[in-house]
Amino acid sequence: MFLSKIWFILVALVASVATTVALVAPRSASRHLASAEAQSLDRAQYAAEQQLKNDAIRWIQSVAKLGRDAVITETLENATRGNGESSVLNETIRGRLGSLVPDLDSRGIRVLAAVDGNGRIVGRIGEGENNRDAELVSGLEVVSDALRGYMSDDVWGSNGKLTRVAAAPVLSKAKDKVVGAIYVGLDTGDRMVELWRKNLGVDVAILLGGQVLSSSVPEGALGSLADRVKDHQDEIKGAHRTKAFTLPHGNDELLAVAAPFAGQASAMGAHYVLMVKQTQAGGPLELLASTTKEDLGWAVFPWLRLGGAVLLIIGVGLFLQRREMEKPLGVLRSDVQKLARGELQKLDDHKHPGRFGAIARDVNAALERFIHGDGAHDNKKDLSAILGDRGGRSVDLPSLPPLGSPSSTSGFGPQKTPGGFSNPAPTPVSFPGAPSFGPPPSFGQASGAAPGAFSMPPPSGPMPIPGATPNARLSSPPLSGPSRPTPAANVGPGLGGAMPPRPMAAPPAAPAFGGGAPANAHGYSNDGGPTPTVPMPAASTGSLQAARGAMPTAQADDSPTANMNNGAPAPDPDEAHMREVFAEYVAVRSQTGESTRGLTLEKFRERLEENRKAIVAKYNCRGARFAVYVKDGKAAIRATPVKD
Amino acid sequence: MKVSNVFRLEKLMQPMRTPFRFFALSTLSLVCWSLPNTDAYAESVKGRVTLSESLENGRRFPGYWRVENGSVPVSPAVTPDPPVVLVTDAKGQAPEAKTFAVDIAGFGANKPTLIVGTNSVVEIRNGDKVPHDLSIPGQEALMPLERLAPGTLRRQKFPVPGVYEIRSAQYPHLSIAVIVVDNPYAAICDAKGNFKLPDMPEGKATLKVWARGQFVHEQAIDVRNNMKALQIDVASASPVDPE
């Protein structure tokens, strides 16, 4: 049982751990997913930043290459010196730029302009190309840098548009001074968003001044994006980017990272935001619901190991249960069956482990109490039921009144007067369904009601019965069963089992008496068939001999013993049995404090013979054996039919 | 302070010819000598501000790249925006309220920094061909965002001392720093970063440096006689020992 309990506890612990893992793991998985997605966004943001830088330097180099064009250089030199008509210079620049960069839209160019050394636009293509005025743009930082000799880039956010700008100086033919600059403005909107979404694998949104300029996700769902980015302004100022933050998007959540654009647009709230849909691991049920067929394939799922583990758990559990439960139980049952069959006197509790041993001890204790304890009839009944006792039954005789009573000549019939043998009503014996002589009134009960009868005084002390416990011997009813060793056989030395079982002498099919059947003329009732006889315990007989020897013989002539001795018994066994019963009866009455005055062997024999004849006649048996026992503190006689 | 007084007395004593005059002037000199030091005696605080490379040549809003062309040396900025040195915690006569005119042309202001007295007015004229939405970010109550159309003028009065930066919403690099002072101790550095604050009263004060739209340096100074010139290195600014 111990190992089984440990095993069940272990299995329960494993199940608890598995349940805990199943409930907790999705949360941990969600965090891991969020962390992985945040890292993915970090990498995407880094890639986006690098792409912006690469684009910037690539366009810087492109406009620097344009600035080395001879026509442009000469035109800007003239414009700087103030030579030539502005319109001519404008046309020259526009024509040249148009020929060098024919398709602005396909390259995402919004404007391409040439500026002379004084900071005035000589000519441009793209947006505002029809503006022929020599607009002064020297205050623009990127243009000012170019006129100073720097190649740089910037991001503008004017007119609700985000424009990445790259500029480079235009050197004179002699390469000794800056004669102008060329700058290009690039569209930074849907085109870039689509490109980034494709290259980076994330959704992209571009913000300018708290407005979403362009986005790869529906802008309606990004209403709070500008506010969320604004909440991270301090973070952006410090790290030039935000950590990943969540953004509600319909029923889902987006994980987003925002970073500012470079240049003066950064002061205008120009940011790009990279977003991915946040994966929700959900609970165990959601995870199970999302399981695919491939997840349960033999190549993926460890079916064999799982099945083996389950079988191992079940096998170990069954093994332990069989080892600690079923097998000991079977052994106990076998022993109990043996006990019931009479092959065992008692159960060996040491043979049975744990509580089975306790059960064995309890059974032993019950047996012992049944044999020796009070209320033996009831215990016998119970024990007989337990053991499947179908053995013979004995019949309790009505209490014998003092045989010397004048009113006690009616024998065993219904007792009309106190102290007589007759019993007014049959009393059921302790065996269900077994015939009974009715209530066992004591023979000597009416000593007071029948004065003068059997006026033997009670012994002054307990009658010694050498070698036996008097109560146990006298009160132990015989066990039935022809071959079953009677527990009474062990009465002498106790239930220790040292004494070999002593077979009962009674035949198995003895008549039974009493029960609820109507009383016959003698007060017997019998509604059942003959049942095996339960003989007197041998030890009881022995004790009777001892009791007989211990009986006082110095009594007056009316003492039972004297009567018994005077009436010389016949040498036949029945007479010997009668004498034994009589002696035992007298001894028991003396022990129980009942009077034995007037109790003579002749009268006793006469009564018992009548009963014997009645039993023989009724059960068609050879004879009857009588036994004396104590019932309710009084001596009683039990008759057992003898067939063979 | 004492050395300065002696120096002046000697100059005064040179034309003295008569013993009486000598006696009188000597007596006057002794009286002056015995006078305690007071703030009435002003000294000049001068020095040089050296900005870091990024502040000196950098852009207010840099892009991803800024590289030289490799053939022609980089020239100085066309429109310089030198740093401003001003002293707070010093009492003095505030500059008079005046009207200052600033022209915006070529997406830049011709006077990117102004030092004005309280209640002065700044007139901003848009000479560009595009409108400029001007305001003072963070102090829209004083100067709200308002579109300045090409060729139009906008006046703004500054009644409270402080530093104000008027900025274009669409071209943030276009800014006008208006430094409203309540004392005369403010100066714009020259091209080399030199400055001089004349007639400052002796005592402790706070010197601040404004450059590229922000205070880039601040230090406590103890104005006293014969102060050494301050060397203010903004990149590694630290208080300079007046001794």
Q: What's the mean pLDDT in A59-79?
A: 95
Residue A46 binned pLDDT confidence (cut-offs 50, 70, 90)? very high
Residue A108 binned pLDDT confidence (cut-offs 50, 70, 90)? very high
* pLDDT value for A399: 57
CB contact under 8 Å between B59 and A145, yes or no, is yes
Is B195 strand, coil or helix? strand
B77 vs A133, A148, A158: nearest CB: A148
Among residues B194, B195, B181, B214, which one has the least CA distance to residue B54?
A: B214
Phi/psi at A290 (5° precision): -90, 5
CB contact under 8 Å between B67 and A150, yes or no, is yes
Optimal mutation site among A264, A266, A268, A272, interface B, most CBs of chain B within 10 A: A264
CB contact under 8 Å between A152 and B67, yes or no, is yes
| Edge-first strand listing for the sheet containing A623-631 | A395-397, A634-642, A623-631
pLDDT of B163 over the 90 cut: yes
Is A91 strand, coil or helix? helix
Q: What's the mean pLDDT in A542-567?
A: 42
How big is chain B, counted in residues? 243
* pLDDT value for A557: 42
pLDDT of A514 over the 70 cut: no
- Chain B positions in Cβ-Cβ contact with residue A133 (cut-off 8 Å): 129
CB contact under 8 Å between B72 and A140, yes or no, is no
CB contact under 8 Å between B78 and A147, yes or no, is yes
* pLDDT value for A463: 41
Burial class (CB within 10 angstroms; exposed 0-12, middle 13-18, buried 19+) of A271 = buried
Geometric angle at alpha carbon A270, from A264 and A272, rounded to 5°: 130
Q: Is the dihedral of CA A615, A620, A625, A628 positive or negative?
A: negative
User: Percentage of residues in chain A with pLDDT exceeding 70?
Assistant: 68
Chain B residue nearest residue A155, CA to CA: B63
Q: Which two tokens mark A393?
A: 């039954």
Q: Where are the alpha helices (DSSP H) in A201-324?
A: 225-231, 233-239, 284-289, 303-321
Q: For the beta carbon of residue A311, count every other beta carbon within 10 angstroms.
A: 10
Q: Kindly report the pTM of this predicted structure.
A: 0.58
pLDDT of A544 over the 70 cut: no
Shortest alpha-carbon distance between residue A297 and chain B (Å): 52
Residue pair B242/B228 in contact (Cβ under 8 Å)? The answer is yes
* pLDDT value for A389: 41
* pLDDT value for B9: 44
* pLDDT value for A627: 87
A139 vs B62, B74, B106: nearest CB: B106
pLDDT of A199 over the 80 cut: yes
- Cα A257 from Cα A211, distance rounded (Å): 17
Q: Which two tokens mark A259?
A: 């970073």
* pLDDT value for A281: 65
- Cα A554 from Cα A410, distance rounded (Å): 31
Among residues A430, A447, A448, A380, which one has the least CA distance to residue A589?
A: A447
HEC secondary structure over A481-496: CCCCCCHHHHCCCCCC
Shortest alpha-carbon distance between residue A157 and chain B (Å): 6
- Cα A628 from Cα A626, distance rounded (Å): 7
Residue B28 binned pLDDT confidence (cut-offs 50, 70, 90)? low
| Edge-first strand listing for the sheet containing B186-188 | B186-188, B84-88, B203-211, B214-223
CB contact under 8 Å between B105 and A168, yes or no, is no
Cα distances from B46 to residues A172, A441, B193, B208, in angstroms, run: 42, 141, 11, 13
Q: For the beta carbon of residue A644, count every other beta carbon within 10 angstroms.
A: 7
For residue B163, the surrounding DSSP H or E stretch is strand B162-168
Q: What's the mean pLDDT in A589-599?
A: 84
Q: What's the mean pLDDT in A264-281?
A: 88
User: Percentage of residues in chain B with pLDDT exceeding 70?
Assistant: 78
* pLDDT value for A299: 87
CB contact under 8 Å between B107 and A139, yes or no, is yes
Cα distances from A524 to residues A85, A510, B161, in angstroms, run: 157, 15, 136
HEC secondary structure over A571-623: CCHHHHHHHHHHHHHHHHHHHHCCCCCCCCHHHHHHHHHHHHHHHHHHHCCCE
pLDDT of A513 over the 50 cut: no
Phi/psi at A166 (5° precision): -130, 140
Cα distances from A86 to residues A78, A358, B130, B154, B204, in angstroms, run: 10, 121, 20, 32, 59
- Cα A527 from Cα A136, distance rounded (Å): 138
ipTM: 0.79
Interval A384-425: pLDDT, tens: 444 444 444 555 665 555 444 443 333 343 333 333 343 333
The pairing of beta strand B113-117 with beta strand B175-181 = parallel
Q: Select the more confidently predicted residue: A280 or A273.
A: A273
Residues near A522 by Cβ (< 8 Å), separated by ≥ 6? A411, A412, A413, A610, A611, A614
CB contact under 8 Å between B106 and A137, yes or no, is yes
pLDDT of A528 over the 70 cut: no
* pLDDT value for A600: 86
Angle A2-67/A190-200 helices, nearest 10 degrees? 140
The pairing of beta strand B113-117 with beta strand B42-50 = unpaired
Q: Is the dihedral of CA A590, A592, A593, A598 positive or negative?
A: negative
Optimal mutation site among B60, B61, B64, interface A, most CBs of chain A within 10 A: B64
Residues facing A245 on adjacent strands: A256
pLDDT of A327 over the 80 cut: yes
Q: Which two tokens mark A25?
A: 């793991």
Among residues A226, A13, A261, which one has the least CA distance to residue B172?
A: A261
Interval A445-465: pLDDT, tens: 433 333 333 334 444 444 433
Q: For the beta carbon of residue A85, count every other beta carbon within 10 angstroms.
A: 10
- Cα B243 from Cα A307, distance rounded (Å): 90
Residue pair B99/B123 in contact (Cβ under 8 Å)? The answer is yes
* pLDDT value for A631: 84
- Chain B positions in Cβ-Cβ contact with residue A183 (cut-off 8 Å): none
For residue A126, the surrounding DSSP H or E stretch is strand A121-126
HEC secondary structure over A378-414: HHHHHHHHHHCCCCCCCEEECCCCCCCCHHHCCCCCC
Q: Is the dihedral of CA B39, B40, B46, B52 positive or negative?
A: positive
Angle A573-592/A538-550 helices, nearest 10 degrees? 70
| Edge-first strand listing for the sheet containing A252-260 | A211-215, A203-208, A271-277, A252-260, A245-249
- Chain B positions in Cβ-Cβ contact with residue A68 (cut-off 8 Å): none
Chain B residue nearest residue A149, CA to CA: B74
Count of pairs with CB atoms under 8 A, one residue in A, one in B:
129
Q: What is the DSSP letter of A501?
A: P
**DSSP, residue by residue, A441-494:** --GGGGGTTSTTTT-PPPPSSPPP-TTS-HHHHHHPPPP--SSSPPGGGGTTT-
Residue A254 binned pLDDT confidence (cut-offs 50, 70, 90)? confident
CB contact under 8 Å between A133 and B129, yes or no, is yes
User: Percentage of residues in chain A with pLDDT exceeding 90?
Assistant: 32
Q: Which two tokens mark A116?
A: 């002379």
pLDDT of A94 over the 80 cut: yes
Optimal mutation site among B68, B107, B145, B176, interface A, most CBs of chain A within 10 A: B107
Residue A434 binned pLDDT confidence (cut-offs 50, 70, 90)? very low
A149 vs B63, B65, B72: nearest CB: B72
Residue pair A184/A111 in contact (Cβ under 8 Å)? The answer is yes
Cα distances from A411 to residues A419, A522, A558, A606, in angstroms, run: 11, 8, 21, 8
- Chain A positions in Cβ-Cβ contact with residue B71 (cut-off 8 Å): 171, 175
Interval A608-619: pLDDT, tens: 888 888 888 888
* pLDDT value for B146: 95
Q: Is the dihedral of CA B215, B221, B224, B230 positive or negative?
A: negative
- Cα A56 from Cα A64, distance rounded (Å): 12
Q: Which two tokens mark B65?
A: 């790249």
Place of tokens 């209640």: B119
Residues near A197 by Cβ (< 8 Å), separated by ≥ 6? A203, A204, A216
Q: Which two tokens mark B9?
A: 């007395």
Cα distances from B236 to residues A258, B191, B194, B216, B241, in angstroms, run: 33, 20, 17, 11, 15
Q: Select the more confidently predicted residue: A433 or A321.
A: A321
The pairing of beta strand B99-105 with beta strand B108-109 = antiparallel
Cα-trace Rg, chain B: 23
For residue A52, the surrounding DSSP H or E stretch is helix A2-67
pLDDT of B47 over the 50 cut: yes
Phi/psi at A216 (5° precision): -85, -5
Chain B residue nearest residue A158, CA to CA: B170
Residue A37 binned pLDDT confidence (cut-offs 50, 70, 90)? confident
- Chain A positions in Cβ-Cβ contact with residue B104 (cut-off 8 Å): 139
User: Percentage of residues in chain B with pLDDT exceeding 90?
Assistant: 51
**A12-41 exposure pattern, b = at least 16 Cβ within 10 A, e = fewer:** eeeeeeeeeeeeeebeeeeeebbeebbebb
Q: For the beta carbon of residue A190, count every other beta carbon within 10 angstroms.
A: 13
Of A102-111, A136-145, A149-158, A489-498, which gets the smallest average pLDDT?
A: A489-498
Mean pLDDT of chain A: 74
